[in-house]
Structure 1
């Protein structure tokens, strides 16, 4: 049986909706990150999006962009975990 995809729809700054597959949710140093891939893209694609869970002024959960150094840290960790999973099969 195929694994069911978890899909999230994000709205960009232009009001355009785009669907993403949730590849992983990571917790690093007290922050939670979502590793997302545009729906229909291959997992090896360079289009992987990493966003951080945060809250807006009203306390609603939102996803925000990362600073470059934070993005690199999360991407490297996710890649390490992903490679371990691949090697364990």
Structure 2
């Protein structure tokens, strides 16, 4: 995924489109992740969502939820380290 993406639109399980602002992209251990928040969110810290960037069969970027608790914790810690001003 390109580093200069500011917004993405995702479909939920019911086919509803939601626009998200991309807060940051993280490269961790040969994997790529994005941290996003709903564009209409008033509190970005509370509603931040971490997604893993994977490739589909055609080589296209696909965003997936992080199911593994250890992997999620690693991404959360990296995000906090980047934004702990």
User: Aligning the two structures, in what range does the TM-score lie when normalised by the shorter sequence?
Assistant: 0.7 to 0.9
Gaps of at least 5 residues in structure 2 are none
Aligned residues: 79
The structure in which a higher percent of residues are helix is: 1
Point out which structure has higher relative CO (alpha carbons under 8 A, 6+ apart): 2
Q: SS in structure 2 opposite 1:74?
A: helix
After the TM superposition, which of the residue ranges 17-26 and 49-58 deviates more from structure 2? Answer: 49-58
| TM superposition outliers: structure 1 runs of 4+ over 6 Å | none
Match of 1:16 in 2: 16
Instruction: List runs of 5+ in structure 1 lacking aligned partners.
Output: none
TM-score where L is the length of structure 1: 0.80
User: Which residue number corresponds to residue 78 of structure 1?
Assistant: 79
Distance 2:82 2:56 in 1: 30
User: 1:20-31 to 2 correspondence within 5 Å?
Assistant: 20-31=20-31
1:6-85 matches, cutoff 5 A? 6-41=6-41, 42-45=43-46, 47-66=47-66, 67-83=68-84
How much does 1:44 deviate? Answer: 2.3
What is the Cα-based RMSD across aligned positions, in Å?
1.5
